[in-house]
Chains A and B, each alone.
Chain A
Amino acid sequence: MSLKLNYSMSLANSYGLTKTQKVASAVGMLGLFIFTLALFNVEFPNKATTLTLALSMLFAGVIWFSNSMYLSKSKGIKNDGVYFKSLSSKGLIGWLIGVVLTLFYIVLYFYPQYLGLAQKDGSNTGLIALFDPLSQLLSGRNASQWFVYGTLYTVAILVFGYKFILKYRHNRYEQIRTISVMFFQLAFAFLIPEFMYVMNSDLPYYDLKNVWPLNYYNFEQYRIKAFINAGNIGLAMLIFGVVSIFVITPILTYKYGKRWYCSWVCGCGALAETAGDSFRQLSDKSKFAWNVERWVIHSVLVFVVLMTTAVIHSYLGNDTSKYWLTKSSFLIGVAVLLTLVFAGTMIFKRKELAKDAKYGAIGYFVVIAVLFAMYFFSKDNTLFVFKSESLRKSYGFLIGSIFSGVIGTGFYPIFGSRVWCRFGCPMAAILGFQQRLFSKFRITTNGGQCISCGNCSTYCEMGIDVRAYAQKGENIVRSSCVGCGICSAVCPRGVLKLENDSMKGRINPNEILLGNDVDLMSLVNENK
């Protein structure tokens, strides 16, 4: 068998689409067209049938397309023509899709009535009404704009996840990781919250894999009330919410790096890795972008910490006899926790921080300390200068909607697929902070084998200049790395490997690479 030639591989044109691929695309487009018709209030006789048809066409179109695109070729890297295609190289099609996606997000967040959301006492119309039958089936209530969005989001992850699995047919890490994000999206983000509603309609919507601070609204008053009113199950969910950020997250990040979340579980990551895969190469690799990234993402983190503290503070009482957690004990607790993190980092990890990282950390700490002091020394009731309500609202608008949705996803075809994860996500900032300083994860560089070709840097969705490390024979230990594994997959010389190993020797800058004179290596590498 090994001697037989494989004649089944066709000479399909890599850049222009084949006839089959065009027909397959058309089928998928037809599915989308049905949604567009619904958006413009075309009345379909049988909504359930129409919705089923439209969704089936989406699935069929992408699956057929992917089969034709990848199954006819031998296993291996499939990046031929990425920079010749308009879609994936910021061409006209890329820009058009960017504009359409951005508009969709603006309507979704701010004008859901245009999607057909029921106004006072009315019933749904348009696109949202089309999804009523599915929502009824799952939870016995009519659809909302978030149900429509959630369904489309899940469908996108499933169909493009399938495409991704075929594209990386030779790479089991990529395949298993993709199956994982498809599962978590379908089960945790989509189905389980609907079923929980059926079981107990008092429970607030809770995607259990969405951890604070990504899920910045988790500890708002209405949710806390709802959790507590829902009895044991609600209380369990609330406790799980606290445990997931303070216990589960640190343990898993220590063992596996932030990838356990960002590219195995998270819904934002899931969309970026599947539907966003065609755009990963568009991320900005410059040093300038890296500097912007570090300031912006950490500022968002400080913002969310202050906002959440203010919000929780606003609804806590002052009477210790009623409930053990009061306004002041809560604030003191937060202050102690932040001081411990700051002091611990400065004492034990000082040497691993760059100069500007130290200044940044001190700056942020001073700002937070001053805000706390201002509160304690004034009689005024507004914590952190602003009212908690306006902090909450502006975070929700600026970060929750504009940054993560409109810019984060709408601009996929322009800035690449991980703009939100890289510049905005406060959860990524926490995980990254730990990954950089206290985790077993790293990307190992294979001795002196790097040829500086640049495939790794080009295809890094987080804009990490992977080559800069690989060509120095240095392991890659970066806060932003989500462990997607694509740098390792596209490397033509087998230089990169994602690994969990001991903390010792994890960061290993080399001036002279393996393969040269041993005396020279020890002279230069040890005399630094």
Chain B
Amino acid sequence: MEHIAIIGNGISGVTLARHIRKLSNKKITIISAESHYFFSRTALMYVYMGHMTFEHTQPYENWFWKKNTIELKKGYVNNIDTDTKTLHFNEGDTLVYDKLVIASGSKPNKFGWPGQDLNGVQGLYSKQDLENLEVYAPNNKVCKRAVIVGGGLIGIELAEMLNSRNIPVTFLVRESSFWNGVLPEGESQMINRHIKNHHIDLRLSTNLKEIISDHNGKVKSIIIEETGEELPCDFVGLTAGVTPNISFLKDSKIKINRGVLVNRFLETNITDVYAIGDCAEQYEAIGNRRSIEAVWYTGRMMGETLAQTICGNRMEYKPGHWFNSAKFLDIEYQTYGWVHGKKGKPDYEAHFHWKHNDDTKCITIAYHRDTNQFLGINTFGIRMRHEVFDRWLNEKRDLDYVINHLEEANFDPEFYKRFENEIKASYNNTLQTNSI
């Protein structure tokens, strides 16, 4: 019986294991040093905020793994001998595989800031990060102020978490407006205001210079690059993105760059070794996608695809239309297709933007300047249907069509106020203005 070893029990590795089990009776071992059972990483924030317990973040009951004969091994892989197909663990034992899948995920970026390894300085990625957060920022007595460095999706989640325990937060964002490398200006600025409304001290165009230690090797304060201001704090969250967690592959023959290099079939340079999820790096990016996609959904999709290859139906990783979602404090965000921020926006891409008066809802529709073809939509505070936009992108609908059929895509709960008419009116106004 062929033995498939999977390093990493996150969404990619577990999806892969489940799909292999559906297709075959191969022996499957999932290896993790982080936690015994699979949990949803995206839900860690809700444990800190008291919405759930850690057990609630586990999507499968504990009997699930035995019932499906998926073996779980707790251990840290030190190095991989691909010639003998052997994994060597930190604990001293070994494991022999027939096929190996690396799904070891990411770790938080650290850009060489002085003091970045002090106690009380950390990212928010793993279960251990959550446990450390409980040590250094359990409440506003132990942690009188927290500083978050890096304005992305994890940064704003960490801000929401700390805010829920009434810990004052200073949020340092390198960009001139929150996440404007991705979001168009109107949306980004709406989120700026929303953050400030939650009494979070948002500092735009601000960089971290260094982190200062107290006598015990714990953070005492930080210094801001631009102003030289020293800000006393008890906790520093580093949330300036993530990078593949592959240091254990350094001495192996597996070819790596920033991530594990894979072709479109998710195969590495070594036969029978594959990589999926956050840690995989495509030789060439697919379409508008990045070569490393550290997103829940893409991890899952790679797992779904690779299971076919491993079970004898060699299949290329060909993701469909891009989609993603997030939540900025109280504002939900969904995106379908491509809508670019100022940075990286192709010349042909034009935007229609509508924002509601209450400053918590807006949409941006991207379309082709010349053909009016619908390219993508960002929606804030209004839920929309994935299936409908996926279809419209396939059908290459134009902007007019999308605006006039928006109600088909609405996914808000029943009785919610609807905004299609307002959006249409605004669209017609804009058009008239343009044609004058």
A binding-site residues for B, Cβ under 8 Å: 1-3, 5-6, 9, 11, 13-15, 74-77, 79-85, 170-173, 176, 286-287, 444, 446-449, 451-455, 457-458, 467-468, 471, 485, 488-490, 492-494, 497-499, 511-521, 523-524
Nearest chain B CB to A441 CB, angstrom units: 11
Asked whether any CB of chain A lies closer than 8 Å to the CB of B414, the reply is yes
A520 CB contacts on chain B under 8 angstroms? 304-305, 308, 315, 318
A454 CB contacts on chain B under 8 angstroms? 40, 43, 46, 52, 56-59
Asked whether any CB of chain A lies closer than 8 Å to the CB of B416, the reply is yes
A171 CB contacts on chain B under 8 angstroms? 413, 416
Q: How far is the CA of A455 from the CA of B51 in the complex (A)?
A: 8
B binding-site residues for A, Cβ under 8 Å: 11, 19, 22, 40, 42-43, 46, 49-53, 56-59, 61, 164-166, 193, 196-199, 296-297, 300-301, 304-305, 308, 315-321, 323, 325-327, 329-330, 332, 334, 355, 357-359, 383-387, 390, 411-417
B320 CB contacts on chain A under 8 angstroms? 514-518, 521
Please pick, from A5, A448, A467, A511, the residue contacting B197 in the complex, using a CB distance under 8 A. A5
A5 CB contacts on chain B under 8 angstroms? 193, 196-197
Is the pair A173, B51 in contact by a Cβ cutoff of 8 Å? no
Interface contacts beyond A2-B359, A83-B53: sample of 16 additional A-B pairs, CB < 8 Å, sorted by A: A9-B197, A77-B51, A79-B49, A81-B164, A173-B415, A448-B300, A452-B59, A454-B56, A467-B59, A494-B325, A494-B384, A516-B305, A516-B320, A517-B301, A517-B318, A520-B318
Please pick, from A9, A447, A516, A521, the residue contacting B385 in the complex, using a CB distance under 8 A. A447
Q: Which 4 A-B pairs have the closest CB atoms?
A: A447-B386, A76-B330, A494-B383, A453-B43
B386 CB contacts on chain A under 8 angstroms? 446-449, 514-515
Q: Can you identify 16 A-B contacts, CB atoms within 8 angstroms?
A: A5-B196, A77-B51, A79-B49, A80-B50, A173-B415, A444-B411, A449-B325, A451-B42, A451-B296, A452-B43, A454-B52, A494-B384, A515-B319, A515-B386, A520-B318, A521-B320
Is the pair B61, A286 in contact by a Cβ cutoff of 8 Å? yes
Is the pair B42, A515 in contact by a Cβ cutoff of 8 Å? no
Do A80 and B51 form a contact, CB below 8 Å, given A515-B386, A516-B301, A520-B305?
Answer: yes
B49 CB contacts on chain A under 8 angstroms? 79-81
Please pick, from B165, B319, B332, the residue contacting A14 in the complex, using a CB distance under 8 A. B165
Is the pair B334, A452 in contact by a Cβ cutoff of 8 Å? no
Nearest chain A CB to B317 CB, angstrom units: 8
Nearest chain A CB to B318 CB, angstrom units: 4
- B42, B355, B384 — most chain A CB neighbours (10 Å): B42
Is the pair A172, B417 in contact by a Cβ cutoff of 8 Å? yes
Is the pair A511, B22 in contact by a Cβ cutoff of 8 Å? yes
A81 CB contacts on chain B under 8 angstroms? 49-50, 164
A176 CB contacts on chain B under 8 angstroms? 415
Nearest chain B CB to A76 CB, angstrom units: 3
Is the pair B355, A2 in contact by a Cβ cutoff of 8 Å? yes
Is the pair A513, B300 in contact by a Cβ cutoff of 8 Å? yes
Q: How far is the CA of A14 from the CA of B390 in the complex (A)?
A: 40
Is the pair B414, A498 in contact by a Cβ cutoff of 8 Å? yes
Is the pair B321, A515 in contact by a Cβ cutoff of 8 Å? yes
Q: Which residue of B lies closest to A80 (CB)?
A: B164
Do A76 and B42 form a contact, CB below 8 Å, given A515-B323, A516-B301, A520-B304?
Answer: no
B165 CB contacts on chain A under 8 angstroms? 14-15
Is the pair B318, A83 in contact by a Cβ cutoff of 8 Å? no
A84 CB contacts on chain B under 8 angstroms? 50
Nearest chain A CB to B331 CB, angstrom units: 8
Is the pair A497, B301 in contact by a Cβ cutoff of 8 Å? no
Is the pair A446, B199 in contact by a Cβ cutoff of 8 Å? no
Q: How far is the CA of A523 from the CA of B296 in the complex (A)?
A: 23
Do A82 and B50 form a contact, CB below 8 Å, given A446-B386, A447-B385?
Answer: yes
B334 CB contacts on chain A under 8 angstroms? 449, 493-494
Do A448 and B323 form a contact, CB below 8 Å, given A80-B49, A453-B43?
Answer: yes
Do A452 and B42 form a contact, CB below 8 Å, given A458-B56, A493-B334, A517-B320?
Answer: yes
B385 CB contacts on chain A under 8 angstroms? 446-447
A518 CB contacts on chain B under 8 angstroms? 320
B57 CB contacts on chain A under 8 angstroms? 453-454
Please pick, from B51, B321, B327, the residue contacting A458 in the complex, using a CB distance under 8 A. B51
Q: Which residue of A lies closest to B19 (CB)?
A: A511
B11 CB contacts on chain A under 8 angstroms? 452
Do A449 and B198 form a contact, CB below 8 Å, given A458-B52, A489-B413?
Answer: no
A447 CB contacts on chain B under 8 angstroms? 323, 385-387, 390
Is the pair B390, A515 in contact by a Cβ cutoff of 8 Å? yes
Q: How far is the CA of A5 from the CA of B360 in the complex (A)?
A: 12
Please pick, from B50, B61, B357, the residue contacting A2 in the complex, using a CB distance under 8 A. B357
Is the pair B52, A83 in contact by a Cβ cutoff of 8 Å? yes
Q: How far is the CA of A458 from the CA of B59 in the complex (A)?
A: 11
Is the pair B59, A74 in contact by a Cβ cutoff of 8 Å? no
Q: How far is the CA of A448 from the CA of B197 in the complex (A)?
A: 31
Is the pair A287, B61 in contact by a Cβ cutoff of 8 Å? yes
Q: How far is the CA of A171 from the CA of B296 in the complex (A)?
A: 27
Is the pair A453, B42 in contact by a Cβ cutoff of 8 Å? yes
B52 CB contacts on chain A under 8 angstroms? 83, 454-455, 458
Is the pair A2, B411 in contact by a Cβ cutoff of 8 Å? no
Nearest chain A CB to B176 CB, angstrom units: 17
Is the pair B193, A516 in contact by a Cβ cutoff of 8 Å? no
B50 CB contacts on chain A under 8 angstroms? 14-15, 79-85
Is the pair A74, B319 in contact by a Cβ cutoff of 8 Å? no
Please pick, from A446, A485, A511, the residue contacting B411 in the complex, using a CB distance under 8 A. A446
Q: How far is the CA of A100 from the CA of B19 in the complex (A)?
A: 50
Q: Which residue of A lies closest to B55 (CB)?
A: A454
Nearest chain B CB to A273 CB, angstrom units: 16
Is the pair B323, A1 in contact by a Cβ cutoff of 8 Å? no
Is the pair B318, A173 in contact by a Cβ cutoff of 8 Å? no
Please pick, from A471, A493, A497, A515, the residue contacting B332 in the complex, using a CB distance under 8 A. A493
B327 CB contacts on chain A under 8 angstroms? 492-493
- A176, A485, A515 — most chain B CB neighbours (10 Å): A515
Is the pair B46, A173 in contact by a Cβ cutoff of 8 Å? no
B384 CB contacts on chain A under 8 angstroms? 494
Q: Which residue of B lies closest to A490 (CB)?
A: B51
Q: Which residue of A lies closest to B301 (CB)?
A: A516
Is the pair A453, B46 in contact by a Cβ cutoff of 8 Å? yes
- B19, B22, B56, B332 — most chain A CB neighbours (10 Å): B56
Do A498 and B197 form a contact, CB below 8 Å, given A76-B330, A80-B49, A520-B308?
Answer: no
Q: How far is the CA of A446 from the CA of B335 in the complex (A)?
A: 13
Please pick, from B46, B301, B413, the residue contacting A488 in the complex, using a CB distance under 8 A. B413
Nearest chain B CB to A346 CB, angstrom units: 29
Q: How far is the CA of A489 from the CA of B315 in the complex (A)?
A: 38
Q: How far is the CA of A513 from the CA of B166 in the complex (A)?
A: 38
Q: How far is the CA of A467 from the CA of B11 in the complex (A)?
A: 14
A11 CB contacts on chain B under 8 angstroms? 166, 199
Please pick, from A79, A452, A467, A497, the residue contacting B51 in the complex, using a CB distance under 8 A. A79
B164 CB contacts on chain A under 8 angstroms? 14, 80-81
Is the pair A75, B332 in contact by a Cβ cutoff of 8 Å? no
Nearest chain A CB to B35 CB, angstrom units: 14
B321 CB contacts on chain A under 8 angstroms? 515
A6 CB contacts on chain B under 8 angstroms? 197
Q: Which residue of B lies closest to A88 (CB)?
A: B50
A490 CB contacts on chain B under 8 angstroms? 51
A498 CB contacts on chain B under 8 angstroms? 413-414
A513 CB contacts on chain B under 8 angstroms? 300-301, 304
